[in-house]
Amino acid sequence: MTSDISYPIEGACQCGGVTYRLLRPAKLIAACHCRECQKLSTSAFSITAVVDATDVEFNGRMKEWQRKADSGNTIAAKFCPNCGNRIYHFNPDKPEEIRLKPTNLSDTRIIQPTIHIWVSEKQDWYTLPEGVTCYPKQP
Protein backbone atom coordinates (compact mmCIF):
# COMPACT_ATOMS: atom_id res chain seq x y z
CA MET A 1 0.00 0.00 0.00
CA THR A 2 1.05 3.57 -0.58
CA SER A 3 2.08 4.98 2.81
CA ASP A 4 1.28 8.64 2.10
CA ILE A 5 -2.48 8.04 1.75
CA SER A 6 -4.46 9.92 4.38
CA TYR A 7 -7.85 8.89 5.69
CA PRO A 8 -10.71 9.44 5.45
CA ILE A 9 -10.99 9.15 1.67
CA GLU A 10 -14.17 10.46 0.05
CA GLY A 11 -16.10 8.39 -2.48
CA ALA A 12 -19.19 8.90 -4.64
CA CYS A 13 -21.23 7.25 -7.36
CA GLN A 14 -21.17 8.74 -10.86
CA CYS A 15 -24.12 11.10 -10.27
CA GLY A 16 -23.16 12.06 -6.69
CA GLY A 17 -26.42 10.75 -5.21
CA VAL A 18 -24.49 8.34 -2.97
CA THR A 19 -21.41 9.56 -1.15
CA TYR A 20 -19.24 7.89 1.44
CA ARG A 21 -16.08 8.17 3.52
CA LEU A 22 -13.59 5.34 3.92
CA LEU A 23 -12.19 5.90 7.41
CA ARG A 24 -9.37 3.32 7.51
CA PRO A 25 -7.26 1.21 5.15
CA ALA A 26 -8.79 -1.92 3.62
CA LYS A 27 -7.97 -5.35 5.01
CA LEU A 28 -7.10 -6.45 1.49
CA ILE A 29 -7.61 -5.48 -2.13
CA ALA A 30 -8.69 -8.24 -4.51
CA ALA A 31 -9.03 -8.49 -8.26
CA CYS A 32 -11.82 -10.96 -9.07
CA HIS A 33 -11.77 -12.58 -12.51
CA CYS A 34 -15.08 -14.50 -12.27
CA ARG A 35 -17.55 -14.13 -15.12
CA GLU A 36 -20.01 -12.24 -12.90
CA CYS A 37 -17.36 -9.62 -12.03
CA GLN A 38 -16.45 -9.36 -15.70
CA LYS A 39 -20.10 -8.54 -16.41
CA LEU A 40 -20.16 -6.04 -13.54
CA SER A 41 -17.01 -4.21 -14.56
CA THR A 42 -17.36 -4.67 -18.34
CA SER A 43 -13.67 -5.51 -18.16
CA ALA A 44 -11.35 -8.42 -17.38
CA PHE A 45 -11.91 -8.24 -13.61
CA SER A 46 -13.49 -6.24 -10.82
CA ILE A 47 -11.62 -4.62 -7.93
CA THR A 48 -12.83 -5.08 -4.36
CA ALA A 49 -11.60 -3.57 -1.10
CA VAL A 50 -12.54 -5.74 1.87
CA VAL A 51 -13.34 -3.48 4.83
CA ASP A 52 -15.19 -3.57 8.13
CA ALA A 53 -18.65 -2.04 7.76
CA THR A 54 -17.82 0.29 10.67
CA ASP A 55 -14.92 1.73 8.64
CA VAL A 56 -17.24 3.36 6.07
CA GLU A 57 -19.85 6.11 6.45
CA PHE A 58 -22.51 6.20 3.69
CA ASN A 59 -24.89 9.00 2.71
CA GLY A 60 -27.70 8.81 0.17
CA ARG A 61 -30.30 6.27 -0.81
CA MET A 62 -29.14 2.93 -2.22
CA LYS A 63 -31.03 0.01 -3.72
CA GLU A 64 -30.12 -3.63 -3.19
CA TRP A 65 -29.80 -6.59 -5.53
CA GLN A 66 -28.99 -10.21 -4.60
CA ARG A 67 -27.90 -13.43 -6.26
CA LYS A 68 -26.70 -16.89 -5.22
CA ALA A 69 -22.98 -17.60 -5.49
CA ASP A 70 -21.50 -20.94 -6.58
CA SER A 71 -20.87 -21.61 -2.88
CA GLY A 72 -24.59 -21.33 -2.13
CA ASN A 73 -24.06 -18.10 -0.19
CA THR A 74 -26.07 -15.03 -1.05
CA ILE A 75 -24.18 -12.09 -2.52
CA ALA A 76 -25.91 -8.76 -2.11
CA ALA A 77 -25.00 -5.49 -3.81
CA LYS A 78 -25.81 -1.90 -2.89
CA PHE A 79 -25.97 0.60 -5.74
CA CYS A 80 -27.17 4.08 -6.61
CA PRO A 81 -30.78 3.90 -7.87
CA ASN A 82 -30.18 6.89 -10.16
CA CYS A 83 -26.94 6.12 -12.02
CA GLY A 84 -26.70 2.40 -11.21
CA ASN A 85 -23.11 2.65 -9.94
CA ARG A 86 -22.24 -0.25 -7.60
CA ILE A 87 -21.02 0.94 -4.21
CA TYR A 88 -20.39 -2.32 -2.34
CA HIS A 89 -21.18 -6.03 -2.03
CA PHE A 90 -21.82 -8.03 1.12
CA ASN A 91 -22.99 -11.37 2.45
CA PRO A 92 -26.29 -10.77 4.33
CA ASP A 93 -25.19 -13.45 6.84
CA LYS A 94 -22.01 -11.44 7.57
CA PRO A 95 -23.02 -7.74 7.37
CA GLU A 96 -20.06 -6.66 9.50
CA GLU A 97 -17.71 -7.01 6.48
CA ILE A 98 -18.30 -5.36 3.12
CA ARG A 99 -16.59 -5.48 -0.26
CA LEU A 100 -16.30 -1.87 -1.31
CA LYS A 101 -15.94 -1.03 -5.01
CA PRO A 102 -13.00 1.39 -4.60
CA THR A 103 -12.76 2.78 -8.12
CA ASN A 104 -15.24 5.48 -7.10
CA LEU A 105 -12.93 6.84 -4.35
CA SER A 106 -11.39 10.28 -4.81
CA ASP A 107 -7.92 8.79 -4.13
CA THR A 108 -7.56 5.50 -5.98
CA ARG A 109 -3.95 4.86 -5.00
CA ILE A 110 -5.25 2.20 -2.58
CA ILE A 111 -6.16 0.07 -5.60
CA GLN A 112 -3.17 -2.24 -5.53
CA PRO A 113 -4.53 -5.80 -5.57
CA THR A 114 -2.78 -8.16 -3.17
CA ILE A 115 -4.72 -11.20 -4.38
CA HIS A 116 -6.30 -12.31 -7.64
CA ILE A 117 -9.26 -14.69 -7.30
CA TRP A 118 -11.22 -16.83 -9.73
CA VAL A 119 -8.24 -16.85 -12.08
CA SER A 120 -9.69 -20.09 -13.53
CA GLU A 121 -12.12 -17.78 -15.37
CA LYS A 122 -9.73 -14.96 -16.26
CA GLN A 123 -9.53 -13.61 -19.78
CA ASP A 124 -6.76 -15.31 -21.78
CA TRP A 125 -5.31 -11.98 -22.93
CA TYR A 126 -4.70 -10.75 -19.35
CA THR A 127 -1.33 -11.60 -17.81
CA LEU A 128 -1.30 -11.96 -14.04
CA PRO A 129 1.34 -9.86 -12.28
CA GLU A 130 4.33 -11.66 -10.80
CA GLY A 131 4.50 -12.07 -7.04
CA VAL A 132 0.76 -11.68 -6.39
CA THR A 133 -1.14 -14.46 -4.64
CA CYS A 134 -3.62 -16.14 -7.01
CA TYR A 135 -6.50 -18.52 -6.37
CA PRO A 136 -8.28 -20.58 -9.04
CA LYS A 137 -11.63 -19.88 -7.31
CA GLN A 138 -12.78 -18.24 -4.07
CA PRO A 139 -10.22 -18.76 -1.27
Give per-residue pLDDT as tens, 121-135: 999 999 999 999 999
Q: Are 114 and 134 in contact (CB under 8 A)?
A: no
- Domain positions in the chain: 12-122
CATH number of 12-122: 2.170.150.70
Look at residue 1 in the predicted model and tell me its pLDDT.
Answer: 47
What's the pLDDT tens digit per position in 37-91? 888 888 888 999 999 999 999 999 999 999 887 777 788 999 999 999 999 999 9
Angle at CA 76, nearest 5°, toward 9 and 54? 35
Q: Determine the Cα–Cα distance for residues 39 and 52; give it in Å rounded to an integer.
A: 26
Look at residue 74 in the predicted model and tell me its pLDDT.
Answer: 82
What value does the mean pLDDT take over residues 96-120?
93
**pTM attached to this predicted model:** 0.84
